[in-house]
Chain A
Amino acid sequence: MNTLISIEGVSRRFGDVTALDSVSLDIRQGEFFALLGPSGCGKTTLLRILAGFEEPDAGSVRLDGADLLAVPAHRRPVNLMFQSYALFPHMSVEKNVAYGLEREKLPRQEIRRRVSEVLETVGLAAHARRRPHQLSGGQRQRVALARAIVKRPRLLLLDEPLSALDKKVRAEMQLELKRLQHDVGITFVVVTHDQEEAMSLADRIAVMQGGRVEQIDAPVALYDRPRTPFVADFIGANNLFAGTVSGGGLEVSGLGVLPAPTAGLPEGAQALLAVRPERVRLGQGTLTGTVVDVSFYGGVSHVALSVPGHGGHVLVATQGPARVETGTEIELGWDAADGVVIAADDAAVENGAPV
């Protein structure tokens, strides 16, 4: 796929807050891209730079190879769906949606046709004459979406589009967004702090933290092969052990040598081992722990164990009901190949092979 947007070394500071710290990433034509990270990590700032409301202190942004930063906001083929929707309160739904097309000086006939089409698509045809304040949160959100996509931009930016909705509506809207993106074929960049949302929606995800991009990967790769300690901790549940490479495993103080895919790393190197709860087996292994909590979630059970010498609890996920009881002492362990080792220099080593 072709690169649509190419962001290189973009930095932005506000006083002594570094909102973006040398961010580089490429967004491909037609993909559903997610910016994922905790609140305050710079996601909105990056979107605002793409939309032209904010200028980077350093770095470049290119669209189809041409400098995008030189183009004023109102001429960019980029539309933004605001986190707060920013609907014009003094205009009806259809006027809001038509606003962008009127700026293109399109024939009235065509404007009317495209507005009613897009309102049909988002299921608001019956509400065309209403004002924003007469709509529910979910309906407003769809007006904001319709207003942005009706312009058929090269790039659609969505800032936490679903955060104001309750859980059930959110799940529905996620499906709708995905279907819509497929239908209209516009490149989507969605900002979210909800990893499940990013995982279920996006083709690729950039995980951000403190103004930096930690890792860019497809959801499955992000889950299976985190490359930084932050990603290992942020995406899904993980058991993390810090130690040094030693004798084909990772030596963790207080726990001994744990099974880990350390081939390719020099003896004595500092590294972090991440093991997913579903990879930990109960009943046999290198560690011994005491069961402190068992919870059953229908399909899976979560078991928390306290292991002497380890700070937090070790989490284990098993299929079906767990056959252990709180208070019992039990062995646990995993295959070396099931762990992911993240070297202290942040380069990941997975399944024993250097990347």
Chain B
Amino acid sequence: MTPSPAGRRAAARVATLGPGFAFLTVFLLVPLALVLSYTVFRRGRFGGIVYEPTGENFARLADPLYLDVVLGSVRLAAVTTLLALLLGYPTAYMIARLPGRWKAIALVAVVLPFWTNFLIRTYAWIVLLNSQGPVNSGLEALGLGPVELLYTDGAIVAGLLYAYLPLMILPLYSAIERLDPQLREASANLGARPARTFWSVTLPLSLPGVLTGCVFVFVPSLGNFVIPELLGGGRRIMVGNLIRDQFLKARDWPFGSVLALAVIAVLVLLLFAQAWAGRRAGRNG
């Protein structure tokens, strides 16, 4: 029997999408399901799981010690995101209004840091910020220093900001670049000063890009554990560090899973918010 056209189409679809699905299933969904299942069991004494159901892993999340870590991480990630937005928007706006060839050059400059090793870039900040580093020498010369810069929340935020700013600039750029320049002209024509045009036309219409940029910066900032360790000197623990420590040091897999689940929940919530707002804004277009 020859397969029907519909059957053949389905077969073709399985052939093209199949490998991708298989990969995602094996390396994403299965581990995710495992981690989720760990959350309701007891920890083994040397790591691993003892399959006795319990709710105490979740109860520990309410422990002020851990809650502080989670809220503190959210705060640092949020500050980073806000600063990235404040720095990134004007940059993206300027790039979007450059003449064609300069746009390409500026965009390459924005992504250039991604081509060097992440650790090396972060170590560079240690060199810059340490008590004998150039920043402090400069401050000392001005009679203002030395100031403790390294191993502070500020250093962590600077590191995160530096690492993820391009992820803010790129979606902002593409949102602003897409705006019809005639809308700005129409606004001026109707009597709006440039600042009013920005607040009433440019900014609201670039909101989908703002949301995307914020999610792109917030998500990896929240989960990062290398930067807090290198630039925070281990004094500030972020969720990322905590999760890693639960799995690798404390060998408390169930509680590590609960923490991971908490982070995932925050991210899923954010993605839903972004999709919702993006659709709202998209309906405008």
Given contacts A99-B190, A133-B283, contact A88 B185 (CB under 8 A): no
Report chain A residues within 8 Å CB of B116: none
- The contact string, 1 if C-beta is below 8 Å from chain B, for chain A 50-84, is 01110000000000000000001111001110101
When distances are taken between beta carbons in the complex, the residues of chain B under 8 Å from A353 are none
On whether the beta carbons of A82 and B186 are closer than 8 Å, the reply is yes
Q: Is B196 an interface residue (CB 8 A)?
A: yes
Mask, B158-193, CB within 8 Å of A = 1, is 000000000000000000000010110111111111
Q: Is the Cβ of B182 less than 8 Å from the Cβ of A86?
A: yes
Cβ A74 vs Cβ B192 within 8 A: yes
Q: In the complex the two chains form, is B204's CB within 8 Å of A90's CB?
A: yes
Tell me the nearest residue of chain A to B190, going by C-beta. Answer: A100
Known A-B contacts A74-B192, A103-B192, A147-B190; the reply to A86 vs B185 at CB < 8 A is: yes
Assess the A90–B205 pair: CB atoms within 8 A: yes
Q: Contact: B188 with A74, CB < 8 Å?
A: yes
> How far is the CB of B244 from the nearest CB of chain A, in Å?
43
Q: Mark A76-109, 1 if CB is under 8 A from B, else 0.
A: 0011101010111110000000011001100000
Asked if B196 contacts A103 (CB within 8 A), the reply is yes
Q: Is A131 an interface residue (CB 8 A)?
A: yes
Q: Give the CA-CA distance A86 to B183 in the complex, in Å.
A: 5
Q: A302 near B: Cβ within 8 Å? A: no
Known: A84-B180, A84-B182, A86-B180. A104 touches B205 (CB 8 A): no
CA distance A103 to B199 in the complex (A): 13
A352 vs B80: C-alpha distance in the bound complex, in angstroms? 83
For A104, the chain B residues whose CB sits under 8 A away are 191
Chain B, residue nearest A54 (CB): B185
Q: Is the CB of B283 within 8 A of A73?
A: no
Contact check: which of A52, A72, A84, A151 meets B190 at CB < 8 Å?
A: A151
Q: Name the distance in Å between B231's Cβ and chain A's nearest Cβ.
A: 40
Residue with the greatest number of chain A CB neighbours at <10 A, chosen from B180, B190, B200: B190
Chain B nearest CB from A245 CB (Å) reads 51
CB distance B187 to A131 under 8 Å? no
Count class of interface residues, chain B:
20 to 34
Q: Check: B16 CB closer than 8 A to any chain A CB.
A: no
**Bound form: Cα–Cα A99–B187 in Å:** 8
Shortest CB-to-CB span from B96 to chain A, Å, is: 18
- Bound-state CA distance A99–B186 (Å) is 10
Q: Which residues of B contact A133 (CB under 8 A)?
A: 283-285
**Chain B residues in 8 Å Cβ range of A84:** 180, 182
B-side contacts of A73, CB under 8 Å: 185, 188-189
- Give chain B nearest CB distance to A217 CB in angstroms: 30
Contact A74 B183 (CB under 8 A): no
- With a cutoff of 8 Å between Cβ atoms, the chain B residues found around residue A131 in the complex are 283-284
> In angstroms, how far is the closest chain B Cβ from the Cβ of A174?
23
CB distance from B158 to the nearest CB of A (A): 35
| B129-171, CB < 8 A from A | none
**In the complex, A90 Cα to B205 Cα: how many Å?**
7
Chain B residue numbers with a CB within 8 Å of A51 are 185, 189
Q: Can you list, as one digit per residue, whether each of A278-319 has a CB less than 8 Å from chain B (1) or not (0)? A: 000000000000000000000000000000000000000000
Query: Which residues on the A side are within 8 Å of B194 (C-beta)?
Result: 74
Min CB gap B101→A, angstroms: 15
Q: Which residues of A contact B188 (CB under 8 A)?
A: 52-53, 72-74
Which chain A residue has the least Cβ–Cβ distance from B285?
A: A89
CA distance A53 to B182 in the complex (A): 10
A115–B200 Cα distance when bound, in Å, is: 19
**Which residues of chain A come closer than 8 Å to B186, judged between CB atoms?**
80, 82, 86-88
- Shortest CB distance A54–B (Å): 10
Q: Does B192 contact A82, Cβ atoms closer than 8 Å?
A: no
- A88–B189 Cα distance when bound, in Å, is 13
A74 to B180, CA, bound (A): 18
Chain B residues whose C-beta falls within 8 Å of the C-beta of A147 in the assembled complex = 190
Residue from A79, A87, A89, A90 within 8 A of B189 (CB atoms) = A79
Taking CB atoms, residues of chain B closer than 8 Å to A103 are 190-192, 196
Query: Restricting to A304-353, which residues have a CB under 8 Å from any CB of B?
Result: none
Could you tell me the distance between the alpha carbons of A88 and B192 in the complex, rounded to whole angstroms? 13
What is the interface of chain B, defined by CB distance below 8 A to chain A? Answer: 180, 182-183, 185-194, 196, 200-201, 204-205, 281, 283-285
Q: Which 4 A-B pairs have the closest CB atoms?
A: A103-B191, A100-B190, A86-B186, A90-B284
A-B contact pairs, 16 of them (CB 8 A): A52-B189, A53-B185, A73-B189, A74-B188, A74-B192, A78-B189, A79-B189, A80-B185, A82-B185, A82-B186, A88-B183, A89-B284, A89-B285, A90-B281, A90-B284, A151-B190
